[in-house]
Amino acid sequence: MLNFSRWAVAGILLPLLIGILCAVPSFLPDNVVQKLPQSLQTRVNLGLDLSGGSHLLLEASTQDVARQRLTNMEEQVRTELRRGGERIAIGDISSRDGKLSFMVRNPAQVDAAVERIRPLTQGAGLTGQRDFNVEVVNSSTIVITPTDAGIDNAVKGAMEVATEVIRKRIDEMGTREPTIQQQGSNRIVVQVPGLQDPKALKDLLGQTAKLEFKLVDTTANPSEAVQGRAPVGSEVLPYPDNPSGVPVIAVKRQVMVSGEELTDATQGFDQNNQAIVNIRFNGSGGRKFGQVTSQNVNRPFAIILDGKVLSAPNINEPILGGSAQISGNFTVESANQLAIALRSGKLPVALTVVEERTVGPQLGADSIRAGLLASLIAVVAVAAFMFVSYGRFGIYANLAVTINVLVILGVMGMLGATLTLPGIAGFVLTIGTAVDANVLIYERIREERRRGRGVVQAIEFGYKEASRTIFEANVTHAIAGGIMLALGSGPVKGFAIVLLIGIATSVFTAVTFTRLLAARWLRAKRPTEIHI
Amino acid sequence: MKLLKLVPDNTNIGFVKLRHWAFALTALLTVLAVGATAYRGLNLGVDFVGGLMIEAKFDQPPKLDQVRSTIDRLGVGDGSLQQFGDPRTVQIRLPLPEQGGAGAANAVVEKARNAMSAQFPGVTFSRYDTVSGKVSGELIRNGVLAVMLAVIGIAVFSWFRYEWQFGVSTFVAIMHDVLMALGFFAVTQLEFDLNIVAAVLTIVGYSINDKMVIDDRIRENMRKYRKMDMKSLIDLSVNETLPRTVMTSVTIMLALGALLLFGGHVLRGFTAAMMLGIIVGTYSSVYVSSSLLITLGLTPQMGERKGGKSGLAAQAERVGPRDDGARP
């Protein structure tokens, strides 16, 4: 064990050196690090509990997605069967229990109806399953059932779009370095460091921003509308700011133009200095809007956001330029928020905040200070204790621990891992356990010396025998750490990352590196007695 | 220079002889811990029960009654207050509004902030968490699952690596450590949150580490001294590893002590749990898990069967145990 070849020495020292160098950027101020090339910016990210900021967990309702799909399907079926040479009359259409069912009036047309509905379904998943099953029951009723694969697919698609929309919205807010990640099948984690008041963010993310323009049904009787009854082809929608005092309004079901045909939205003011949102339609949207407004001069239309009517202005003249304004009871802030939401597109599914954690920057800074102080004191205390217990070998162990701490930081920087407050606790614990390997080795050397072995042989035996134990002990530790990483959330994960990296690096520094130091000393001095 | 030795050379304590006392004490403590947990319950944090937690920092130490009446006047449900860390910091817990989701929780925070600012100028909310019931249910499930998996996983590992007796004795000792930690939180009513789950897992990892070292030595001695009876062999192994056991516990306690005193209030519960775990874990390694091997019927001859690991120990010349008195 005393002979380390030149290559072995290089093989031990080089990785340690790289690890230490990677730790350096974490200690440099921001402006210096930004000048470094990207690949050298190996910095440990600070978790929200240290930097301050907000963590939000958003959840989409899968039932919501399923319901929407069914509504779309109903829409498609109606259009398809009404279209073309052979119209198929249907009735009793209902979407209950997550299924869509309807009756074909003329039993002779059932097969033709199925023929025409089938192409509306799509393949889902790899097994050749369709996203909807189409069946005929009681010879005249057609039942369309969404398959699980179909729903999964739809949820997946909706989540991808939702993640993208959220990213756009947060970018528009101008916050720095947000993390937006999908988690599980229907959740999105949003982390925004440095954000002090997440209220605006949550309001923004809580909006689906589904914008529609529909004509107001002026034939409807307001007293019936209050009871939720509307003429055929119309529906009753809430209208909280209705000047007439009735909180609802009846509008035509048919959509004039929807928010999907917007190209831009900005906050502005109208002639009364009231905050509004200016919108601009794309080509086809502008044409449609122009057409409908020309045909309905002097009639009101409703501006509907997320199923609620914002305002119902009168069409004074045809609006042909492809731009319009959305008026409503806005403040400058809420108008600006709506503009951002409209620009980034509508969320395909409504999201609710199921978990929120916000840490003020002051507490974060206090935590860092306290964590650093505690780590420093821990290192000094452990180092002093190791020195009085093992003398020269204690110094080797201390050197190893110091390098270990730097290498852990370096590895975390390379992996882009995040340091959290529990992570700092993980550090302190690693300092404690890393010396355990050295304690095992040194105690074994003491034992072997007592049994009468020579210096060199005792050291050799100490390292070899203790290495096995150290390996086993670390495997068990790693099992616990791995489980924490897999099952833990937030703080537990941050702790597990440091623990796992620490296990890997500490075996190397505490065993291999100290062995190299001990071997060099033995070769140089050839002692006949050791103080250990 | 004279080096420090916490455990003198040739220490030979008859741990095995004490095992019936140790088992009785362990059983008693475990029953007490389980009883305390069942009777008093754990002070579960918002992570596990859902709700709203606000940590408010005041300019001057506030009167808790005043803070309480301010919160009660909001009419947002039963609040509970706790001084946290220094006297200027108060933790306020409120139930999550039943309806309205995120917006409603926000409104509660805003309401509380306004009311508190009016009463106590200069107050700031240094952090707040809101966790919905659904998420908290998952967190609790994952937490319990993580601890159980860790304990079982490690027990299975030591069963495959050695004889089944080692797996069982480790399992029993670890369960004892975990239950003691729970009992500690039940008695002190310190808040039990996600961080504490990490602490419990670490206790499991650490305690295992301790047992592994002793088990490994028992295995080694089983191969070395085939004729020695199990009681002396286990005493020998525990005593041989005692200096290491004590040294390591002391270094880790030093590190944790620094964390407890200087690491800030957020980590205090975490550190306290870990310190207790180290003490309990060390105790169960030395007094319980190794002696349990005898009760479980481990004999030195068993070392032969799984003798896959040759290595130095197997080839080593038979150097006698350092204390001949330990031989039968």
Q: What is the predicted pLDDT for the residue at B32?
A: 94
Mean pLDDT, all residues of chain B: 82
The residue in chain A having the minimum alpha-carbon distance to the alpha carbon of residue B134 is A354
Chain B residue numbers with beta carbons less than 8 Å from the beta carbon of A496 are 198
Rg value, chain A, Cα: 34
Average pLDDT over every residue of B148-176: 84
The residue in chain A having the minimum alpha-carbon distance to the alpha carbon of residue B265 is A367
Q: Do B322 and A451 touch (CB under 8 A)?
A: yes
Angstrom distance (rounded) from CA B121 to CA A332: 29
| Secondary structure of residue A103 in the 3-state scheme | strand
Give me the residue from A370, A477, A483 closest to B209, CB to CB: A477
A207-357 under CATH 3.30.1360.200, yes or no: yes
Q: What is the predicted pLDDT for the residue at B147?
A: 83
Give me the residue from B204, B256, B312 closest to A428, CB to CB: B256
Q: Do A499 and B202 touch (CB under 8 A)?
A: yes
Q: Are B123 and B39 in contact (CB under 8 A)?
A: no
pLDDT-derived band at B103 (thresholds 50, 70, 90) equals low
Q: Is the pLDDT of residue B150 over 80?
A: yes
Residue showing tokens 């749990």: B273
pLDDT-derived band at B280 (thresholds 50, 70, 90) equals very high
Judged by a CB distance cut-off of 8 A, whether residue A389 touches chain B is yes
Q: Do B274 and A429 touch (CB under 8 A)?
A: yes
Q: Are B194 and A492 in contact (CB under 8 A)?
A: yes
Q: What is the predicted pLDDT for the residue at B302?
A: 66
Q: Is the pLDDT of residue A384 over 80?
A: yes
Judged by a CB distance cut-off of 8 A, whether residue A489 touches chain B is yes
Burial label for A273, CB within 10 Å (0-12, 13-18, 19+), is exposed
Residues 317-336 of A with CB under 8 A from B: none
| Secondary structure of residue B90 in the 3-state scheme | strand
Chain A residue numbers with beta carbons less than 8 Å from the beta carbon of B181 are none
Asked if the ipTM is above 0.85, the reply is no
Q: What is the predicted pLDDT for the residue at A125?
A: 64
A427-484, pLDDT tens digit by residue?
Answer: 877 877 788 889 999 999 988 888 888 888 899 888 988 888 888 888 878 888 888 8
A370-382, pLDDT tens digit by residue?
Answer: 888 888 898 899 8
Judged by a CB distance cut-off of 8 A, whether residue A57 touches chain B is yes
Chain A residue numbers with beta carbons less than 8 Å from the beta carbon of B103 are 202-203, 206
Residue A293: CB atoms within 10 Å: 22
Walk me through the domains of chain B, giving residue ranges and CATH numbers. Answer: 15-43+136-296 (1.20.1640.10), 51-131 (3.30.70.380)
- Structure letter (DSSP) for residue A172: H
Distance from CA of B131 to the nearest CA of A (A): 4
A335-371, pLDDT tens digit by residue?
Answer: 888 888 888 888 888 888 888 888 888 888 888 888 8
Angstrom distance (rounded) from CA A415 to CA A41: 11
Q: Are A167 and A198 in contact (CB under 8 A)?
A: no
Give me the residue from B135, B157, B263 closest to A354, CB to CB: B135
Q: What is the predicted pLDDT for the residue at B320?
A: 43
Q: Do B198 and A496 touch (CB under 8 A)?
A: yes
Residues of chain A above pLDDT 70, percent: 97
Q: Do B258 and A531 touch (CB under 8 A)?
A: no
Q: Do B266 and A49 touch (CB under 8 A)?
A: yes
Q: What is the predicted pLDDT for the residue at B324?
A: 41
Average pLDDT over every residue of A122-134: 76
Q: Is the pLDDT of residue B309 over 50?
A: no
A437-451, pLDDT tens digit by residue?
Answer: 899 999 999 888 888
Q: Do B255 and A424 touch (CB under 8 A)?
A: no
A354 backbone dihedrals φ, ψ, rounded to 5°: -105, -15
Q: Is the pLDDT of residue B300 over 80?
A: no
Judged by a CB distance cut-off of 8 A, whether residue A354 touches chain B is yes
Which candidate, A45, A54, A57, places its Cα nearest to that of A420?
A45
Q: Do A425 and B311 touch (CB under 8 A)?
A: no
pLDDT-derived band at A133 (thresholds 50, 70, 90) equals confident
Residue B140, sorted as left (phi over 0), alpha (psi -120 to 50) or beta, turns out to be alpha
Residues of chain A above pLDDT 90, percent: 6
Distance from CA of A518 to the nearest CA of B (A): 18
Q: What is the predicted pLDDT for the residue at B327?
A: 39
pLDDT-derived band at B319 (thresholds 50, 70, 90) equals very low
Give ranges for CATH 1.20.1640.10 in chain A: 6-52+360-525
Chain A residue numbers with beta carbons less than 8 Å from the beta carbon of B258 are 374-375, 377-378, 381, 428
Rg value, chain B, Cα: 25
Q: Taking CB atoms and an 8 Å cut-off, how many pairs form between chains A and B?
A: 256
Q: Is the pLDDT of residue A262 over 60?
A: yes
Q: Do B127 and A357 touch (CB under 8 A)?
A: yes
Residues forming beta bridges with residue B92, ordered by sequence position: B54, B81
The pair of structure tokens assigned to B266 is 């957020």
The residue in chain A having the minimum alpha-carbon distance to the alpha carbon of residue B157 is A476
The pair of structure tokens assigned to B15 is 């741990």
Query: DSSP alpha helices (H): ranges in chain B?
Result: 19-40, 46-49, 64-74, 101-119, 133-161, 164-188, 194-224, 230-262, 268-283, 290-295, 302-305, 311-315
Chain B residue numbers with beta carbons less than 8 Å from the beta carbon of A388 are 3-4
Q: What is the predicted pLDDT for the residue at A211?
A: 86
Class of domain A6-52+360-525: mainly alpha
Give ranges for CATH 3.30.1360.200 in chain A: 207-357
Q: Is the pLDDT of residue B312 over 50?
A: no
Pairing of strands A211-216, A90-96: unpaired
A203-246, pLDDT tens digit by residue?
Answer: 778 777 888 888 998 888 888 888 888 888 888 899 888 888 88
Judged by a CB distance cut-off of 8 A, whether residue A513 touches chain B is no
Residues of chain B above pLDDT 70, percent: 89
Of B106 and B132, which is predicted with more confidence?
B132
Q: What is the predicted pLDDT for the residue at B304?
A: 54
Angstrom distance (rounded) from CA A85 to CA A83: 7
| Secondary structure of residue A38 in the 3-state scheme | helix
Give me the residue from B126, B205, B248 closest to A481, CB to CB: B205
CATH topology of domain A62-152: Gyrase A; domain 2 (3.30.1360)
Residues 396-425 of A with CB under 8 A from B: 421-422, 424-425
Of A128 and B315, which is predicted with more confidence?
A128
Q: Do A443 and B243 touch (CB under 8 A)?
A: yes
Chain B residue numbers with beta carbons less than 8 Å from the beta carbon of A57 are 135
pLDDT-derived band at A196 (thresholds 50, 70, 90) equals low
Q: Do B263 and A428 touch (CB under 8 A)?
A: yes
A144-178, pLDDT tens digit by residue?
Answer: 888 888 888 888 888 888 888 888 888 877 766 78
Single pTM value for the model: 0.75
A483-497, pLDDT tens digit by residue?
Answer: 888 887 767 788 888
